[in-house]
Structure 1
Amino acid sequence: MMMLAFLACNDEKKDQAVKTEVKKEKLPPIEKEYGFVLNDFEVIKDTIQPGDSFGYIMDQNGVDHGKVFEISNKVKDTFNPARITAGKKYVILKAKDSAKTPKFFIYENDKINYTVVSIGDSIYAEKKKRPVTVKRREVSGVIVSSLSEAMETQGLSNLLVYELSNIYQWSIDFFKLQKGDQFKMVYHEKYIDDTVFVGVEKVDAAVFKHSDKPFYAFRYLNDTVTGKASFYDEEAKALQSFFLKAPLDYSRISSRFTKRRFHPVQKRWKAHLGTDYAAAYNTPIVSTANGRVIASGYTSGNGNYVKVRHNDKYTTQYLHMTKRAVRKGETVKQGQVIGYVGSTGLATGPHVCYRFWVNGKQVDPFRQNLPSAKKIEDGLKDEYFAYIQPLMEELEQIPYKNI
C-alpha cells in the first residue's frame, strides 16, 4: 500500500508540473511599440482609405462629435486632423474596459515619424520617431539593360537609382547608359530595429564608369552657411550645375527648341521656343534653379504656368500645368516643386513646356554653357584633396562587377 501511495503522489506532482508549463506557454509575449506596451490595450490597426476623415474614423470607434471637435482644437498646432492622407497607417489603442474606451490615436507620418494623439481624459499630441540605426555599405554593379535592373540584380534598393541619377544628372545622360557601364558606391542606409530598411541616409563617394570613362563624385560640405553638401570630382570641380538639366523626371522629350515646327493644335508652322517633356499627369515640376517667382497664372495658350527669374541674366518658364504650387513673389529653391504636369492651354497631352531666357532672349538651354554651382576656392583645395584621399582608396579597393 505504501508503494501505491508513493506512485500516486508522484503522478500528482507530474500533473501539477505539466499544468504550470501549459500556463507559461499561454502567456503572450510582451509587445512594445510607439512607446506603449500594446498588451495593455485593445489594439486597432488600419489604413486611411480615400474619403476617410478623422471625424469618421473617431465616430467608427466610439468617439462622439463633440469630443472630436475638442480634440481637433486642442491638438491642431501639432497634428492637423484635416490633413490626414489616404494610404497612411494608423493605430487606435482602447482601454480593456467594458466600453473599450479609445485612449490614443497614432498616425504614421512615414516609416520613421509618427504622431501620438491622446484622446482620453487628457488631450494632447506628440511627434515622435522610431529609433533608427545607420549602416555604412560598399556596393558595385554593372549595367546590362538599365540602372534599375542592375540595382535589382544586386538586391539593392531602387532608391539608389535616384541617388546616382541626382549626383550625375549634370554629367551623365542616364537614358543613354551602355551595356557594360559600371559603378561603385560608399553610402549609408537607415534601419528600424536594425532590420527594417527605411531609406538612404547619404552617399559618401561614388564612381560611375560610363563609356570606359570614370566619373568620380565625393560628397563634401563646402557651404557652411546653408549646411548643404554638394558633390565634387577628383579635381575639386563641382558636379552640380547652376541649373538642373530638366524640370522633372520625364519619359521622353516630345518636342525640342526650334524656329520651325508644325503646331499640333493650331495646325500651322511656327517657332517652338521651348522644350517639351512628356510625363504622366500630376508628375511634380520643379524649379531648375534658385530664384523668385515673377508670374504664376493662366492664359489660353500657356494654360497654368509659372515663370521664375534666377538672376539678372537667367529666367525660366513652365507651361501647361494641371495646377500651380507657388505664387508670384515667392522665393524658390532649385528642385522645389512649383506645379504639376497637365495639359492646360494649347496642349494635346500631358507635358511641360520648359522655356529659357538669357538676357531677355529665348534660347535653347541645351546649347548654353551654363554656370556650375558653388566651387571650392583654391585656398581650400588641399583640405578637400586630403578629405577625399581615403574615400578614393576605399573605392579603388571595391572590385567592379562584370557581365
Structure 2
Amino acid sequence: MLRKLLLGTLVLLSLSACKKEKEDAHVEKQVVIEKPKEVKEFGFNLNNFFVLRDTIKQGDSFGEILAKNRIDYSLVYQIAEQTKDSFDIRKLQAGKPYTILCSKDSLQIPQCFIYQPNKIDYVVVNFADSIHAYSKKKPVKVVEREATGTITSSLSEAILEKGMDYQVSHELADIYAWTIDFFRLQAGDRFKVIYEERYIDDTIYAGMGKIKAAYFEHMDESFYSFRFKTDTIHDRSDYYDEEANSLRRFFLKAPINYSRISSRFTKRRFHPVQKRWKAHLGTDYAAPRGTPIWATANGIVTKSSYTGGNGKYVKIRHNSVYETQYLHMSRRAVKVGEYVKQGDIIGYVGSTGLATGPHVCYRFWKNGRQVDPFSQDLPSAEPIKPEIKERYLEFVQPVKTRLDNIIFEEEKEEYIAELN
C-alpha cells in the first residue's frame, strides 16, 4: 500500500514538473518586440529615412552635391530657382556640415537637403513633395557661468587658464574699450565675470552668449559693467557702470586689434617710401595682412576709393564735427552712402598705396582739420535716459551684490589657510 502511495506521489510530481516546463517554454517564446527609439533632428524622425552626412568640400557646389546623389540637374535647377528667396545656394562654405535625407527603400532617393552654417542655425531644402526652403534654429539651453581671473601676462592667457571660452577676452576688451587700456594691463590686475554659455541637447557646447556683468581691477581702480536693455522695441542693450554711466566713448581707441603703433601723428617724419621729411597726420597701426578694420564710431561712408598715395581707403563722417579715414587697405568692405556702426568691419589691413608693410593709417578730422586723436578730449557716449535710470539702478543692485560675492581664487586659498 505504501509503495503504491509513493509511486502515485512521484507520478504527480513528474506531471507537475512537465506542466511547469511547458509553461516556462511558452513564456520563453513570448518575445517582446520594442519599437525603435525615435531619433529626432531638424524636425524630422530620422528613423523614417536613410541618412547621409558629410561636409562641404573646397570647390563643392549645391548642384554637384545633389547630382552625385542621383538628383537630375533639371531638378537641381528647379530647386535653386524656387528656393532662391529663402536660400542662396552660392553661400555654401567649405567645412560646414550637411545632411541628406533619402527614402528608406532600395532606391534611396534624396528628399531633403539640410545645411548647417553653424551649430545652432540650419536651412532645410525640401523637395520630397513640393519644393520649398526654410531656416530654423536648434533648441538652445542658456546657462549662466561665474568666473574669475588674475592677469599674469595677458587677458587671453588668464581666460584660457580658467577654462573659459576664448571669446570672453574679446568681449571684455570690447566692453572696456574706453575705460581700460588692455595693452597696459599689469600683473595682478584681476576680473570677475558673469556670462552665458549655450548648449544644444544639454551637452553640445555652442559658444558663449552675452556677458551679463563684469568687474575689473586695473591699476588699483575698480570698474563695474552691467548689460542693460535700454530699448525693448528695437531690442538694444549696452553696458553701463554702477552709476548708470555708459562705458563706451564716442570713438574706439583704435580701428583694429593691433600688435603695435608703428608711427604716430607728427608734423615732421622721414617718409620711408618717399625718402624725405614731411608731416605724418595719422597714426599707423601695424597688423597682419587681412586683419579686420573697424569703424571707430557710427557714421556715413563718404568715400570708398583708391589713390596712389592712400591705396584703398575709406572715409567716414560721424557728425558735423568729426570724420575718420582708414588707409592702405587690402580690401574695402563698404560703399559710399552706407551707414556703419561702431565696431563694424569696413575693410582689411593691407599695404596698398605708399606703404612698406601691412598696416592701417588712421586719420582723424575735427572741424575739417586733421588732428591727433590721442590729444583730443573726446565726448562720452550718452548716459542712460533719466526716465529709465531708476529702473536701471534697481536692476543692477542684485547683480552687483552677486558680483561682489564671487570670491577670487587667491582669496579662497587665503581663507582656507586661515582655517587650517
Name the TM-score, length of structure 2 as normaliser: 0.88
2:417 aligned partner? none
Closer, same or farther: CA 126–377 of 1 in aligned 2, 3 Å: closer
Paired with 1:380 and 1:119, the residues of 2 have a C-alpha distance of 51
Q: Does 1:400 align with 2:419?
A: no
* Displacement of 1:297: 0.7
Larger mean CA deviation between 169-178 and 275-284 belongs to 275-284
Paired with 1:217 and 1:143, the residues of 2 have a C-alpha distance of 19
Amino acid at match of 2:48: D
2:135 aligned partner? 127
Q: Does 1:56 align with 2:64?
A: yes
Larger mean CA deviation between 252-261 and 336-345 belongs to 252-261
Q: Cα deviation per residue 1:129-159 (whole Å; 9 max; x = unaligned)? A: 1111222222222122222222222221112
Amino acid at match of 1:105: F
**Partner of residue 123 from structure 2, selected from 106, 115, 118:** 115
1:235-250 equivalences under 5 Å are 235-250=243-258
- Please list every run of 5 or more consecutive structure 2 residues that lacks an aligned counterpart in the other structure: 1-10, 412-420
* Displacement of 1:362: 1.0
Q: Cα deviation per residue 1:285-344 (whole Å; 9 max; x = unaligned)? A: 121111111111111111111100111110001111111111112221211221122221
2:73 aligned partner? 65
* Displacement of 1:280: 2.3
1:65-84 equivalences under 5 Å are 65-84=73-92
Q: How many residues align?
A: 398
**Partner of residue 220 from structure 2, selected from 178, 189, 212:** 212
1:323 aligned partner? 331
> More relative contact order in 1 or in 2 (CA 8 Å, sep 6+)?
1
Larger mean CA deviation between 279-288 and 99-108 belongs to 279-288
**Partner of residue 260 from structure 2, selected from 241, 247, 252:** 252
* Displacement of 1:10: 7.4
Q: Is the 8 A contact 1:142 1:402 kept in 2?
A: no
Closer, same or farther: CA 377–96 of 1 in aligned 2, 3 Å: closer
Larger mean CA deviation between 195-204 and 93-102 belongs to 195-204
Q: Does 1:338 align with 2:342?
A: no
* Displacement of 1:119: 2.5
Paired with 1:223 and 1:33, the residues of 2 have a C-alpha distance of 35
Larger mean CA deviation between 350-359 and 372-381 belongs to 372-381
Paired with 1:377 and 1:9, the residues of 2 have a C-alpha distance of 86
**Partner of residue 370 from structure 1, selected from 353, 375, 378:** 378
Amino acid at match of 1:112: I
Q: Quote the RMSD (CA, aligned, Å).
A: 2.3
Amino acid at match of 1:113: D
**Partner of residue 162 from structure 1, selected from 170, 174, 197:** 170
Q: Cα deviation per residue 1:170-205 (whole Å; 9 max; x = unaligned)? A: 111112222221111222222212222223332222
Q: Does 1:391 align with 2:399?
A: yes
Q: Secondary structure at the match of 1:56?
A: helix
- Please list every run of 5 or more consecutive structure 1 residues that lacks an aligned counterpart in the other structure: none
Q: Does 1:96 align with 2:104?
A: yes
Amino acid at match of 2:90: A
Q: Is the 8 A contact 1:208 1:215 kept in 2?
A: yes
* Displacement of 1:12: 4.8
2:416 aligned partner? none
Paired with 2:195 and 2:68, the residues of 1 have a C-alpha distance of 45
2:53 aligned partner? 45
Question: Between the two proteins, what is the percent identity of the paired residues?
Answer: 54
Name the TM-score, length of structure 1 as normaliser: 0.91
Q: Secondary structure at the match of 1:247?
A: coil
Q: Is the 8 A contact 1:182 1:401 kept in 2?
A: no
Q: Cα deviation per residue 1:10-30 (whole Å; 9 max; x = unaligned)? A: 78558647xx48x76xx8643
Paired with 1:28 and 1:340, the residues of 2 have a C-alpha distance of 53
Q: Secondary structure at the match of 2:236?
A: coil
Amino acid at match of 1:32: K
1:287 aligned partner? 295
